[in-house]
Copies of this chain bind each other. A is one copy, B any other.
Amino acid sequence: MTPTIKTGDARQGSLARLSSRLGRPGVAAALVVALSLSATVARASDPLPSWNDTPSKKAIVAFVEKITRQGSGEFVPVPERIAVFDNDGTLWAEQPLYVQAFFLFDRIKALAPLNPGWKAREPFASVLGGDLKAALACGERKLMEAVMATHTGMTSQEFEKTVGAWIAGARHQKTRRLFTEMVYQPMIELLAYLRANGFKTFIVTGGGGEFVRPWAERVYGIPPEQVIGSTVKTKFVVRDGAPLLVRLPEMDFVDDKAGKPVGIQQHIGRRPIAAFGNSDGDHQMLQYTAAGGGARLCLLVHHDDGAREWAYDRHSHVGTLDKAWDEAMAKGWTVVSMKNDWNKVFPFDRK
């Protein structure tokens, strides 16, 4: 049997033989310099530089190398390389609240002059009075009324413009960074790494798909047709000769928890081979991905870095990671420690 030789060793060996045959120590020295230069280039071209060299990174790279190696037995053809990513808490920060909640509050404030009755109606009154805690305490039904009052009634195109204008300037209250800067640098690298290896990357978010689409291409490199999210009913109308799509005040589909695999089936129609989440909202998407035949990568981002981000898991008002955590432990899914596996969290962090 031919012993397996690592590529680097083989190269070094043959170059050493070559230089010894040339018989000139100067050539050998030049080759050593050349080799160390090429090692530097190799390090510089690491597609995941914000990932420490820990088991999480190794699991990701091993999976990608395995499924892209022709004849490996676990090789996956390019069209089947589907990877799905949760958004809130997986690609960008979700603390102290989902970003879309801040959009909701700002829309309430912006539209209040046109809706004088809101001053006496919850959760509008609390939002307008600046008491977000009280607003959130109004419960899901009341909050959904506020979502419908601010997110529907306009055309899809108008809504897209409103989101686009808002996200261009909206900042996180603590860091004062744009929300679109509060994305995880290691995950941005992971998206690019997968795409460079023939993957189609999708966002599968519990939030509004049309809230994410206007900026996902610019920020994540993910085009609108690869964003799956919750939707409201939409109607086609011709108004004054202009064909329009109007957003109606009724939920169409909730793309969260058991909804995520359904959204994946309705949109993609093919089981992903890799899924990335951070909470119980992603549990079923991970289960569904894991249950396919062949190599699979199921990964949870664990928010354990209170210094650079936030530390939370089983008991949290957003991104609760409880059942999915237990299954990850039982099944050996990859759990990423933001603290230990990432040398950088946000793009603006210094290493």
Contact = CB atoms under 8 A, between A and B. Distances in A.
Nearest to A237: B258
A262 B288 contact: no
Interface in A165-215: 200, 209-210, 213
A291 B234 contact: no
Given A213-B269, A234-B265, 8 more contacts: A79-B217, A200-B225, A236-B258, A236-B262, A242-B291, A243-B288, A243-B291, A245-B288
Copies, count: 2
Given A225-B270, A270-B224, A265 B291 contact: no
25 contacts: A79-B223, A82-B225, A156-B265, A209-B269, A210-B269, A213-B269, A224-B270, A225-B226, A225-B267, A225-B268, A227-B269, A231-B266, A234-B262, A235-B258, A235-B262, A236-B258, A236-B284, A236-B288, A243-B261, A243-B284, A243-B288, A243-B291, A245-B262, A245-B288, A252-B266
B224 A245 contact: no
Contact of A238 (B156, B200, B245, B287): B287
Interface in A218-256: 223-227, 231, 234-236, 238, 242-243, 245, 252
Contacts of A268: 224-225
Interface string A263-292: 001111110000000000000100110110
Contacts of A266: 209, 231, 234, 252
A213 B267 CA distance: 11
Interface of A: 79, 82, 156, 200, 209-210, 213, 217, 223-227, 231, 234-236, 238, 242-243, 245, 252, 258-259, 261-262, 265-270, 284, 287-288, 290-291
